Amino acid sequence: MTLLTPPLPGGDTAIAPQSTGRTATPRHLLMCPPVHFDVVYAINPWMDVSVPVDTGLAVVQWQALKAAYEARGHTVDVVRPEPGLPDMVYAANGAVVVGGRALAARFTYPERQPEGVAYEAWLRTTGARHGIVSLGQAVERNEGEGDLLWDGEVLLAGTGFRTTREAHAEAAARLDVGVLTLELVDPRFYHLDTALAVLSTASGTRGTEGAAAAEIAYFPGAFTPASLAVLRERYPDAIEASEDDAAVLGLNAVSDGRHVFLTDRATGMHAALRERGFEPVGVDLSELLKGGGSVKCCTLELRPARTTEVAA
């Protein structure tokens, strides 16, 4: 018999641990409340300055996402939102943190460039108290976890719209990690985290006894043929999402190895995740979608050096 616990924030009913073989790993996350959120310029295809934004509703939806994380055992820190930076809510774009080292973003568009300074300041001060060493801002154009996703073994690195190939080399050198470049071709998926989600991270070294490979989901149409071939070779068992799910940013998701937090609109992804033994946690972020972001965009993971990530 499947045992059910009361509903938790995020919509879906939580299933008791004995109902799944997957294990959730506690995460340390950084978020920024959308108290200044608005669409006052258009720098991606999702943004339309003629469509009104309900900032109050955006805050309520953001709070529900934060509560969903905390209800499932994750630690959430909050960075102070800065007036005049309506996109600062998209914390994932602010930096990438691997092995206790943080490289802050250097944004492409002038409207967002001050965000890199704000996130670097938080990482250098408050982040230091959590064992994070700030490496300062990137020199090359680099939009943080928007385009740099850690699979437990390498950084999957997007390019084509925001983050440059030169930034991939810089991240590899400064974070001391391997990088796998992936080229994006559809402007709707201007960041890698809008077209690909890491569902579980690798454990051990690829090819060694007992090692577990990372699991991902992605939308094939977002990538060049060459990058798609790389993905299919490296992740032969990946979930290939439909365009319908990708088009509501259903791949802009955060996973702890068991729970996958994503928009409630990506119903096909919810079904595919359940088939693989994951527990989807649906969240309504419809207001923040107006700026071109969803769950992952709102969430920067802080990975300390002392933490060994365990694949589910």
Catalytic residues: 191, 297
Which residues, at least 6 apart from 302, have a Cβ–Cβ distance to it below 8 Å?
28, 29, 30, 77, 97, 102, 127, 130, 132
Distance between alpha carbon 134 and the CA centroid of its chain, in Å? 20
d(CA 31, CA 43): 22
Q: What are phi and psi of 97, to 5 degrees?
A: -125, 120
Cβ–Cβ < 8 Å for 108, 141: yes
| Nearest C-alpha neighbor of 305 from the set 132, 107, 176 | 132
d(CA 114, CA 129): 23
HSE at residue 198, side-chain half, CA atoms within 13 A, is: 24
Q: Which residues pair with 282 in a beta bridge?
A: 262
Q: What are phi and psi of 113, to 5 degrees?
A: -60, -35
3-state secondary structure of 104: strand
Distance between alpha carbon 263 and the CA centroid of its chain, in Å? 13
DSSP 291: T
- Structure tokens of 54? 């309900």
